[in-house]
Amino acid sequence: MLRELHRRLGKVEAVVAGVFLLAMVGLIFFGGLARLAAKPQNWTIDFATCLFAWACFLCADIAWRRGGLMSIELVSERLPEKAQLVLRHINHALISVFLVYVIYAGIYLSWVSRARSFQGIPSISYSWISMSLPVGAALLLFTTVLKIADDIKGGAPAAER
């Protein structure tokens, strides 16, 4: 059931991230054309920044799911299989602890910045950008927990499914 939720969530993440990236490019293009026409629309940059923050975290989870994040395996690949597994457990534990902290700090940051508004869009709270941090970290933590479960079960890594 969790695997199915994770799979469906991944599809939604990919669509949302793609839409956000396209919208961001469109907003920046529109802002450039408006500036060229001597009618600058400063809100386009602020809105594109918000979409960029959300897209970054969604894309980070997509890459983590697929095993596409950068890693340096110069030493670890030369270790025995058992040592590689222990090292992977340590790595996943460190990542999990960090993500839990990011969730906590992101929620705090969102709460603190709730009264702050965008420069170009005064009616929208800056918390909309700040919430990308804990939401993205929670998605990454969910993926990490499933990777840990895969390692414990000895099954195929989540990236290979």
Instruction: Sketch the domain layout of the chain as residue ranges.
Output: 2-156
Give the confidence band of 74 by pLDDT, cuts at 50, 70, 90.
confident
**Which residues lie closer than 8 Å to 158 by C-beta, 6 or more apart?**
6, 65, 143, 146, 147, 150
Give the separation between CA 123 and CA 63, rounded to whole angstroms: 34
Task: Give me the chain's average pLDDT, please.
Answer: 89
Range 112-128 average pLDDT: 81
Which of 128, 138, 158 lies closest to 20 in space, CA to CA? 128
Which of 7, 34, 18 lies closest to 142 in space, CA to CA? 7
Range 145-159 average pLDDT: 77
User: Of 13-17, 40-44, 60-64, 151-155, which gets the smallest average pLDDT?
Assistant: 151-155
